[in-house]
Amino acid sequence: MKVVHTIQELRAQLRGQLRTAFVPTMGNLHEGHLSLMRLAADHGDPVVASIFVNRLQFGPNEDFDRYPRTLEDDISKLEKEGVYVLFAPDEREMYPVPQEYRVSPPQDLGDILEGEFRPGFFIGVATVVMKLFQCVQPQVSVFGKKDYQQLMIIRRMCGQFSIPTEIIPAETIREPDGLAMSSRNRYLSPEERQESVWLSRTLHEVAKRIRDGQASCSLSVDDVADIESAALQVLNQRGWKTDYVAVRRRTDLKLPAAQDLQSPGELVVLAASKLGATRLIDNLEI
């Protein structure tokens, strides 16, 4: 595997490649990331990964400085997966001058859910992904469904800017007890790690209640609001600090109307909640 740190080196390595598959990451790789590399290999060749902790997507009180950076270990893992090139730039390479031009998602998608509680987050995400796409120029790129809203924003960005990159969604990889894999899971204390399974359990309970309502043809918009509220209360009563538990339409993450509740396979439940000092997100398609 070639490890390159500059855009010039990256482009030299990829010159002439016709079906590059790209997986952008912030490093501290786990099995979830590695599953993205394998899926990328099914859709393109060569596979290119990037590791860059993007300051633009961190708020002033978030964990940019303490975000885990494990480059040597990450390189070893990527080599075992057969990745062809790792692009690992520093900030000076990615942002040689202040990044004054930025990509701003539409408010009705970028300023809800994660965007409401992390203002500017998706501007930072969309901007760095746009820049990475210009550096790599991939034919396909893989993004995990765990970051459901991010996946939708990137896919729509590619469509609106006519970026010739196909976005491949990857299913969420979970620990045996159901916790969605995340680099931030390492922040959890042993006691918090045991408690953390309640996030996915709560999503499954929401999904069950939604499906039961659909099966009996009795599910209303008010019922959905009650189910969301009950789920939020369950987490908070267990000591979580919950930003949202939200049932939305899969197509656009808007609130479901009455007609949207009648057909299975149209909805997704998303949640974000803080356990101790660690903020976890998860979702489940219904």
Rg (the chain; Cα; Å): 19
Q: How far apart are CA 278 and CA 55, in angstroms?
A: 18
252: enclosing H helix or E strand: none
At which residue do the structure tokens 């101790």 appear?
276
Helices (H), the chain: 7-14, 31-43, 71-80, 91-94, 107-110, 114-117, 121-136, 148-160, 190-195, 197-215, 221-237
CA angle 170, 172, 178 (to 5 degrees): 165
What DSSP line would sit under 228-249, residue for residue? Answer: HHHHHHHHHHTT-EEEEEEEEE
The residue length of the chain stands at: 286
| Choice among 5, 33, 43, 204 that is catalytic | 33
Q: How far apart are CA 235 and CA 281, in angstroms?
A: 13
Give whole-number Cα distances, 107 to 110, 116, 123, 182, 210, in Å.
5, 10, 11, 27, 28
25: enclosing H helix or E strand: strand 21-25
Q: What are phi and psi of 23, to 5 degrees?
A: -130, 105
- Catalytic site residue 5? no
**DSSP three-state, residue 265:** coil
Q: List active site positions.
A: 33
